[in-house]
Structure formats: C-alpha cells, structure tokens
Chains A and B, each alone.
Chain A
Amino acid sequence: MANLLIKADKISKVYKLFAEEIKAVNNLDLEIFQGEFVAFMGPSGSGKTTLLDILGCLDRVSSGKLEIFKQDVSALKESELVKIRRKNIGFVFQEFLLIPTLTALENVELPLLFAGMPQERAKAQGLLEKVGLGGRVNHLPKELSGGERQRVAIARALVTSPKILFADEPTGNLDTKSGQQICEIFQELNRKDGLTIVLTTHNQKLGTQAKRVVYLKDGTIVSREESSLCV
C-alpha cells in the first residue's frame, strides 16, 4: 500500500456568522496517499476551499483529528503549522498572489528565503525553465500574462520540494488555452515526478485529469470516483 500522507478523521470546520453557525466542513473522513492526484469538485460554498486550506495547514479544524505526514496537526499552533508548510507543502492560488514588487525569479526564491535555504537559488531558475519561463525570469508579475503568472506561482510552490502540492482553483482566472497549459503541467508533475497533487476546481477537464475526484456538498463528501482517464 502506498504511503498515507493525509488522514482526516471526522473533521469539521465551523464559522460563526453573527448568531448563525456555518459548518463549512462537516464531519468529513478522507485519506490521501502519496502519488495521488485528487480533485475536489462541487458547487460554490460546498466547502472545498476550506477543506483545502485545512489540509494545507493554512487553517485549523474545529473538531476531529487530522494527521499529516503521521503528525497530528489538529491542535498545533500557527508557529508549528508554518514549519510543516515551509518544507512539505506547496500552495497555488486562483489569483496567483505573486508579490508584485518582486521579479518572477525573486518570487520563486522567496520560499527558500523563509525556509532558510537561500543557497538553492539555482533551483528557482531551473523550475522557471521547467514551466517554460526561462526567458522571463527578470520580469515583474505585471509584465506577465495570467497563464505565465500562474506558472511562476507553480514554480514558487515547488521550489522547496514539497511532498504535496495544493492548488485552489488554479485555472479559475485563466482562459481555456492557459488553463490547458496549467493542466498539462500538473499532469506531468504527477506522472513523471510522482508529486502528490490536491486541488479544487470547477474545470471539468482539469477534474477529469485527476486520478480521483471527490465531490463535495455542504461540507461533506457526496461521491468519490476514480477517473477513467488515468491509470
């Protein structure tokens, strides 16, 4: 059996909106193994982004037990979560969220700076070449197209060699062609490099490229299916 990376046991996330309690994630069980490509799909408000934030150690569960890399993170403090994020988790966001004052290369180097490994700068350059931006490393985000920015963001997420890549609607702000390029990059990362990828998407195409699609509604899983496209 493949290596278990994430094990969620009856996890819930509750927000208080005025007097009302909203269960964004409701009593959910989930296991993710090494090498998987999982897509969370579902309507807006189904809790997929919240689930992604929790699994990616950006947010904490309200109840239940969450183990990541065999470590119980349910009760960890922010300062301990950051250590897990730093070396094991890469994040890609719908709005790219690059630092506008830094060049493509500097954006990719930034996680190395925070992780205390500035000596691995060559890796940042290599990753930008890998996503097809070798010639644009000194451009600022505003000088890049949406698709190019997202590719910079992917390089940034990968620079610390994480065990899992999380992506929140990575093609949500892109045209079809750029979205397709991003899909292909994810495919390659998963198939060739064996990188575990977990993402949320509305994009059917991206969804079907995943090895496993998890449909969510009202914070719970309504169906799990193995994609027929992938072997």
Chain B
Amino acid sequence: MIARILNIAWKELLHLRKDRVLIPFFIIGGIVELTLIAWATNQPIDDIHTTIVDHDQSAQSTALIDALDDTSTLAHETSANNAAAVRSKMHRDETVVGIVIPEGYAEDVEAGAFPTVRLILNGAHSVKAQEARRAIEEVTFEQGMRERFNMEPAEYAEMLPQISVRYNEDLERGWYTLPAESGFIFYLFTVVLAALAITREKEKGTYEQLLVMPYRSVEVIIGKALAPMVVGFALFLAMMGLTVFAFGVPFRGSLPLLMVLAIIYLVAELGKGILMSMLSRTQLQAVLLVFVLAMVDMIFSGYAVAVETMPPFIRFLSNFVAIRHWLLIVRGIMLKDVGLSVLWPHVLAIIAIGTVILTFTATQYRRQAN
C-alpha cells in the first residue's frame, strides 16, 4: 500500500517539478506580498498635513504650536487666517487637520481658566484623523500641565491609569498581520496545488484510467496530497523564516510543536483542495473555486481584525473554519509562548474538520469510481 502511495506521490512531484509558472508565482508572489505587508504595516502614520490658525499670536500660543510641531505625527504645513479658510482647504482636499487657537488663549492660561482650542478634522481621512486626534490630545494635555502647574509628564504619570501591553508591547501591526499572511499564503498555495492534482488528470483524460486502476480511494487521495504537502511544508518553513528573521516578528514558543501542528493543519486543508479538484472539470475552474473559498475563509480567519470582536453569529461560524484555529495556534505559539495544554481545543477542531472533509472526499472519489 505504501509503495503504491509513494508511486502516485512521485508522479505528482514530477508534475510539479515541470511546472514553471505556478510554483515560482507562489514563491515570488508570496515573498513580495510578505515584504509589502511588513513594509506597509511598519509605516507609522506620520506627517499628517496640519493647518494652524493662531488668533492669539502670543508667547503661549506659539509655545503650543511648537509643542504640536514637535510630534512626528503632525506636519504643520500651512497657516490660515480663520476657520473658514481651513474648511475650504479641506474641501479642496489640501489638509487633514485644522487647529484654531482662539483670541484670549494666553489670558485664559495666565488666569488659570480652561482655554478652548478648536480642532477641525477631515473625516474623509478617518485613519489619519484619529491618529492626529490622539496626538493632539496628548500634546495639549502635556502643554496645559506645563503651563498651569509647571509639571512635566513624569511628575503626574503616576496619577493616570497604568496601562501595560502584553505579547505585542509596541502594538506593531506587522506582528499580527505577518504570521497571518504567511499562514494564508502557504494555505492558498497547497490548496491550489492539491486542487490541480485531479483536474489535471481530467483535462488530459487520464482520470478514468486512474479510477479503474486497482488503487483504493485512500491511496489515491494520500498519494495526490503528498506532493503538495511536501512543497507546502517547505514554503511554510520559508515563510516562517522570512517572518522571523527578515521582519523581526518574535518567535517565543516551541518550533517543533508548530511544525507538527502545521502538518496536521496541512492535511486538513489538502483534503479541501482535493475535494475542489474532484468537483471541478478544468484546472481553471478549480483555481477559481479555491480563490472564492479562500475569500470566505478570510472573513472567518481573523486575518485583519480579531474574530473575538465580531458579532456572535460570525464568531460561532468561525469555529468551523480550519484556518481560524490555525492562526490562533500560530499566534499563540509565536507571540504568547503557549503549549498544547492551551491549544488542544484548536488542534482537536482542526483534526475534526479535516476528518469530515477527508471522509467526504473519499466517498466522493468512490462514487466517481463507480
């Protein structure tokens, strides 16, 4: 039985070796995509175009403007005469943030009253606007404490809520997205390869021959899955290496554990690929089907936004998607250094999903064989 499985697997590997497009596409495309994500998510949202209106023209207002200038988040590009000028600049899409310091600002500060500064945000650029708002709130708070109480941030820090962040201390977006992306790329790659395995035979007309050969359905499925699995596993290691060594995402847990779990996960996903392959007539159909499926998987995977914060119904459905469990395992091992004692429900879930898919695939093959 093993010899027969290996025969099929060897034949598949030969096919893959001759493929001069798909494998380079995934390897180069994967590396490019990973690099782009690392680069894009590492970019701080900086130098947001800011227009300042200073009606007060005092030493105090100048000090506030200087303090605002000092942040890397804002770029004080222009000044304007009044708030209306800021709004029309916004309408022309020339600025994102407007700060209006009213007349009498210095007097308020001197008198110990609470001066009001007007902040105009261009909501069309909401991501930048939120970042700017956070920075401005911080700066005005510090500046106000300095002016009114002569206190530097260190002196009153103890009075503010003490918030500490774990696992991803600097809230690097890349630490979340990169493991997810590398997981996603190798998932897509192996499923596409598996999906091509049987459609290739169908297109060439050798599928019928395969059906009448004295192979058992399990042997064909395992044989067909073995080659994509080897290649997929290699890609997985490459992607992990890139994520950790080139992009600096920490790997805190156990690598052998992750590798073993990767194999289990691969088996579950490969079953899906082979099923797609049996259901489609041409290779193109199979690839398209996999892409559509991948998009649905993406919703449930917590790829960009944590599933935990999604509506309960989606959260419930996501339990039936293998990639969600896989991403939780990857993040758990990489960032949180947790072991099987914590991850076992996810491992069991992947095994259960994989078993269902593989059983269905095997019955499907037997049906087609008859």
The answer to whether A binds B is no
